[in-house]
Structure 1
Amino acid sequence: MTIEKRPLSLTINGKKIEHEAVPVGMPMIDFLHEYLDLTGTHFGCGQGVCHACTVVEILPDGSKQESRTCIYDAHFFNGKNIITIEGQAETDDKGNVIKLTPIQQAFIDNFAFQCGYCTPGFVAGATVFLDRLNKNPVKRADLEKAIEEALDVHICRCTGYVRYYEAIRDVALATPGCVID
C-alpha cells in the first residue's frame, strides 16, 4: 500500500516553504515537527479542544486568526501564512532571540505559565486577541470579560488562567488603542 503524497506550499514564520511530497492527511502539527523541526507548537488533546496546538494564521486582509494544527491536515494550510511560536519573537540571522513580543514578555513577567505546555497556544490566542483589540477596542470595564471570551477555549491543566489573563490585561492596557475609557 502506498501513501498518497502531494506538494505543499505555504509561508511559515515569514519564510516560503515548499515541499514536493507531503502525505495526504498528515496533521499540520506533524508536518511542523517532522518536516520543519518546529516543535514549539504542542500536541494536546488531538481533537482541537485544548488549543495547545494553536498557531496564528495571517489572513489575506492582514488580520489574524487562531488555527489548530492537530485537527487540520497540512494541506489545509496550502497557500496560507502562519506564525508558530518560533516565529513570534524577533531573532537575528542565527535564530537567537533579540526581543520577545509584548505578550511573551508579559507572560514571563507575570509568571503566567507553570509547566508551559499550553503556553504556545496561549501566546497565539493572545496575539490574535490583541490584533482584534487594535481594530475594535473595548471599554476598560469590559476588558476582563473580553479576555475570558477570547481565551476560554484554551485549556491549562495547571490552572494558570489568572496569571495568563493578568498578563494579557497588562499588555492590552499598555498598548495604545486597545482599550477605551
Structure 2
Amino acid sequence: MDSRSLFLTANADTVYYMSGLDLSKGPMVIEQPSGGIGTINDMWFSWIINIGAPGPDRGLGGKYLIVGLDYEGPLPEGGYFIARSKTNFALYASRANLVGNDPKPAVENIKRNMKVYPYQPGAFLHAARSVQPVPREASFRLHTRCSPRGRVSDAPKGHFHEQEWRRP
C-alpha cells in the first residue's frame, strides 16, 4: 500500500477482498466466508448492509442476496440475508485478519468459500461464475459516470470517476 491507494485505512497485515456487483440484470448472491469483516455499499457509497462479524452472519459466514433498484421479481423466504441497493451497481468489500501472523489460512478460506453469482429464483444449488485470470500485460483505464439507477445517460454532471489499473 502507498499514498496512491484508494483505501482510506488500508493495512499491510490485512487480507482485503472485494467485488463489484452488477444488479441491473437481477439480484446477486454473495457467499461470505467465515471470519470476514466488511460491508456492501451502493455507488453513492451509501451503506447497504454489513457482512461478516458486524453483519447478521456474526462472522460465521452466510449467503447474502443483494437486490437492485429495479428488481420486482420473487425473493426467497429463507436461506439468505437480503438487502436492497439504491443503485444498480454495488461494491462488496471485506477483509480478513492474519492467523498467527500468517495470511495463508485467511487466503485459503476466502478462495475456498467466497462466491459471487446471479440469483436464480427457486434454485437451490448455484455454480460460482468462473473467473478468468487477467494476463500479466493487461492494463485498462476505467471511466465511470453513474446515476443512482446505474445509468450513464442521466448521471448528474460532475459524478465522474477515472482510474488507471495495471496488473502488478
**Fold shared per TM-score above 0.5:** no
TM-score range, shorter chain: under 0.3
TM-score in terms of structure 1 length:
0.23
Q: Which has the higher helix share?
A: 1
